Chain A
Amino acid sequence: MENVNLKINGLDVSAPAGSTILEAAHIAGIKIPTLCFLKDLNEIGACRMCVVEVKGARNLAAACVHPVSEGMEVRTNTPQLIESRKRTLELILSDHDKKCLSCVRSGNCELQALCQELGVADEEYFAGESNQYELDTSAAHMVRDNNKCILCRRCSAVCEKSQAVGVIGPNRRGFATFIGSPFEMGLGDTSCVACGQCIAACPTGALYEKDFIDEVLAAIEDPKKHVVVQPAPSVRAALGEEFGYPMGTDVEGKMAAALRRIGFDKVFDTDFSADLTIMEEAHEFIERVQNGGVLPMMTSCSPGWVKYCEHYFPDLLEHLSSCKSPQQMFGAVTKTYYAEKMGIDPKDIVCVSIMPCTAKKFEIGREDQNAGGVPDVDISLTTRELARLIRKVGIDFQSLPDEGFDDPLGESTGAGVIFGATGGVMEAALRTAVETLTGEELQNVEFREVRGTDGIKEAIYHVAGMDVKVAVASGLANAKEILKKVRAGEADYHFIEIMCCPGGCVNGGGQPQVHADVRNFEDVRAIRAKVLYDNDAAKAVRKSHENASIQKLYEEYLGKPGSEKAHHILHTSYVKRSIN
């Protein structure tokens, strides 16, 4: 692409034509503060934090949306600009609940960081009338506190554009404007899919997950309870960010050590039940192909995606695999097989999951998720909650040794680890399905066509005389494109993997929040996914069906994949829901 030449703060800068001033400044290593801007999603130039002086222009320009042109001269940091940004912040603060000490985002709040950087000296400078809102606690997974909302619209942009849901947005106008749902419905009454991408996008403490840390601590403290924990694959790929490690650091060993020191009786691993999911899902897929079942089959690991399908594509529910998600399979096995093996009453087991996900909080309360007569999973925490829990109990994360998981539900293969990246479930399933169908050992277990962060990926594999056509989508807006084709009968896929969050679980709504000034320029999804693929590549065993603990589970308890017992414990059903 052609480049244009301009000057920013007196420096010569060359940037591709069509770049914004913000992008050109980034190339030159100059940081312009932003607040409402989210690349590709919320490019509205509304908050005026990124204002810059453009020579010859009458007004200050919003760098996030203003395109560069040849010979342009831009200044980004004059005293007047700094003053203007400061004034903007003071105005935002005039209608912002400034209880920062008790705020979940304190220390990690973009508004707070900007106030510090720009030297806002008096948060009451424009004190006056302020709006008072009740908290919306109607959803299973999260809270909206509009008293902390700055109306940047990042949440509603993500909800509508990235996730094709659009259940939140600005209502009314002027000073009365607030972000909410139609007809003042609580979020829990809408067709919100609980993905939590709005929380990930929020710069302040207006949106946060419902916190269950104290319930976990109470269970651990209760001598009658046997408390087991299962962290999902993606947690190890991002937890380190909360403790000063660079993005893309694998902290699996320290995470296991931290969980043990928190006091869990057993530190197991959701990677184990990811392998188990593959056993059931690959079997279900082969059976559907061989017996004329409903195709394409679609994965069912992502509870946000499952809920989306129930609301928006209820006519396609037959395509969903009946397999429970790894989180739920783990709980189900814990409260049946493990409980029997250990001689513990399932009622006395508390199963805690650590998830990169907020929809998992919704999922644990779903119907038909209670194989042992009690809920499969009792408490689901996000990665962020785990970080807070680690801090709360006074663990120095960085100085922890690397430790492993406990047996028998802690053993896993590389196939289980890659579940957290878009395409990972497909690849893991193919490793098992292809070997099952051909009866031969795979020479190369890597199915690279389904890797990468593209929203939609397609591939055809020749397996045992058959062309298996697969598709992988992440982000519900991408999923919607594929689903519309399936609905119209225009897609001849056999197997589709769908993950609710863009890039898969590594970029889930429960992961550590990444400030927009990082997120706008780095591919968080790819950096975290690499942790999982490296972890997989380093494993001696990389196929789910070669997991010795899984083999033993089938020998001792379940029989075969797809057996009646396996169905009772590891499979579930879905309901049709409406759109609101």
Chain B
Amino acid sequence: MPEKKQTVPFSGTKEQEEALLQVIAEQKDEPGALMPILQKAQDIYGYLPMEVQKIISDETEIPLEKIYGVATFYSQFSLSPKGKYRISVCLGTACYVKGSGDIYNALMEKLGIVGGECTPDGKFSLDACRCVGACGLAPVMMVNDEVYGRLTVDDIDEILAKYE
């Protein structure tokens, strides 16, 4: 089934909107303008929420569904913002055989979000990543730049508590 709807309220600023409108005005008559517009929109907002995609749709007359289809096709685009604390769980081979899948699932359950999403308070976002180069510590996860290794599911509460 499709992933859940975004849960973080939109908080775009007027400056961001002006920057986006300028990008659209520059690009919209070029053939194939949607990709560069989406890329720049993500640069401006950090992600592509419905409000941003709607502005693009209104200005370019490209149906919202078409924009959403492109935004969900490419992994470079994110529909959710990144949290204050960005959690990445390594699902690379070594970590995976050491049980990082369980850790990833436990995090989704504890945070109430699925991979790629952000908690409604904007605190934690969760992503899967591939190999952070610390296979000797497998399974590994990172919170911002902090690395946690040799994890078990039981360690998660304690780690999250450090950021509460």
Chain A residues near B (Cβ < 8 Å): 132-134, 156, 160, 165-173, 178, 180-184, 190, 579-580
The one of A132, A160, A182 in contact with B68, judged by C-beta atoms closer than 8 angstroms, is: A182
Known A-B contacts A182-B50, A183-B50, A580-B64; A169 and B1 likewise in contact (beta carbons under 8 Å): no
The one of A160, A165, A180 in contact with B2, judged by C-beta atoms closer than 8 angstroms, is: A180
- With both beta carbons as reference points, the residue of chain A lying nearest to B58 in the complex is identified as A579
Distance in Å: Cβ of B56 to nearest Cβ of chain A: 11
Contact B73 A173 (CB under 8 A): yes
The one of A133, A169, A190 in contact with B69, judged by C-beta atoms closer than 8 angstroms, is: A169
Distance in Å: Cβ of A149 to nearest Cβ of chain B: 14
Contact B1 A173 (CB under 8 A): no
Contact B1 A134 (CB under 8 A): yes
Contact B1 A132 (CB under 8 A): yes
Number of B interface residues in the complex (CB < 8 A): 18
Distance in Å: Cβ of B82 to nearest Cβ of chain A: 19
Contact A165 B63 (CB under 8 A): yes
Known A-B contacts A173-B73, A182-B53; A166 and B5 likewise in contact (beta carbons under 8 Å): no
The one of A134, A168, A173, A178 in contact with B65, judged by C-beta atoms closer than 8 angstroms, is: A168
- B72 proximity list for chain A (CB < 8 A): 171-173
- A160 proximity list for chain B (CB < 8 A): 63, 66
Contact B2 A171 (CB under 8 A): yes
Contact A183 B69 (CB under 8 A): no
Known A-B contacts A172-B72, A172-B73; A184 and B63 likewise in contact (beta carbons under 8 Å): no
Contact string against A for B residues 5-27, beta-carbon threshold 8 Å, 1 for contact and 0 otherwise: 11000000000000000000000
Assess whether B67 is interfacial by the CB under 8 Å rule: yes
Q: List 14 A-B contacts (CB under 8 A).
A: A134-B1, A156-B65, A160-B66, A165-B63, A167-B63, A167-B65, A169-B65, A169-B66, A172-B2, A173-B73, A178-B2, A183-B5, A184-B5, A580-B64
Contact A171 B68 (CB under 8 A): yes
- A183 proximity list for chain B (CB < 8 A): 5-6, 50, 68
- With both beta carbons as reference points, the residue of chain A lying nearest to B67 in the complex is identified as A182
| CB under 8 Å from chain A, chain B span 47-102 | 50, 53, 57-58, 63-69, 72-74
Distance in Å: Cβ of B71 to nearest Cβ of chain A: 9
Contact B2 A181 (CB under 8 A): no
Contact B66 A166 (CB under 8 A): yes
Distance in Å: Cβ of B37 to nearest Cβ of chain A: 16
- A580 proximity list for chain B (CB < 8 A): 64
Give Cα A498–Cα B72 distance, bound, in whole angstroms.
35
- B5 proximity list for chain A (CB < 8 A): 183-184
Contact A181 B73 (CB under 8 A): no
Give Cα A190–Cα B63 distance, bound, in whole angstroms.
11
Give Cα A579–Cα B67 distance, bound, in whole angstroms.
14
- With both beta carbons as reference points, the residue of chain A lying nearest to B68 in the complex is identified as A182
Contact A166 B2 (CB under 8 A): no
- B6 proximity list for chain A (CB < 8 A): 183
| 4 more A-B residue pairs beyond the given contacts A166-B65, A183-B50, with a C-beta to C-beta distance below 8 A | A170-B73, A171-B2, A171-B69, A180-B2
- With both beta carbons as reference points, the residue of chain B lying nearest to A164 in the complex is identified as B63
- B63 proximity list for chain A (CB < 8 A): 160, 165-167, 169
- With both beta carbons as reference points, the residue of chain B lying nearest to A180 in the complex is identified as B2
The one of A132, A184, A579 in contact with B64, judged by C-beta atoms closer than 8 angstroms, is: A579
Give Cα A180–Cα B64 distance, bound, in whole angstroms.
12
Ordered nearest first, which 6 A-B pairs have the shortest CB separation?
A166-B63, A182-B68, A182-B64, A169-B65, A169-B69, A182-B65
- With both beta carbons as reference points, the residue of chain B lying nearest to A178 in the complex is identified as B2
- A181 proximity list for chain B (CB < 8 A): 65
Distance in Å: Cβ of B130 to nearest Cβ of chain A: 17
Give Cα A296–Cα B67 distance, bound, in whole angstroms.
34
- A166 proximity list for chain B (CB < 8 A): 63, 65-66
Give Cα A182–Cα B68 distance, bound, in whole angstroms.
6
Give Cα A188–Cα B65 distance, bound, in whole angstroms.
14
Distance in Å: Cβ of B108 to nearest Cβ of chain A: 17
Distance in Å: Cβ of B73 to nearest Cβ of chain A: 5
- B66 proximity list for chain A (CB < 8 A): 160, 166, 169
- With both beta carbons as reference points, the residue of chain A lying nearest to B57 in the complex is identified as A579
Distance in Å: Cβ of B45 to nearest Cβ of chain A: 16
- B69 proximity list for chain A (CB < 8 A): 169-171
- A132 proximity list for chain B (CB < 8 A): 1
Distance in Å: Cβ of A158 to nearest Cβ of chain B: 13
Give Cα A116–Cα B66 distance, bound, in whole angstroms.
35
Give Cα A515–Cα B108 distance, bound, in whole angstroms.
46
Give Cα A419–Cα B74 distance, bound, in whole angstroms.
46
Give Cα A173–Cα B69 distance, bound, in whole angstroms.
9
Give Cα A122–Cα B87 distance, bound, in whole angstroms.
46
Known A-B contacts A166-B63, A166-B66, A171-B68; A184 and B73 likewise in contact (beta carbons under 8 Å): no
Give Cα A167–Cα B53 distance, bound, in whole angstroms.
14
Give Cα A156–Cα B63 distance, bound, in whole angstroms.
11
Give Cα A184–Cα B6 distance, bound, in whole angstroms.
11
Contact B2 A184 (CB under 8 A): yes
- B58 proximity list for chain A (CB < 8 A): 579
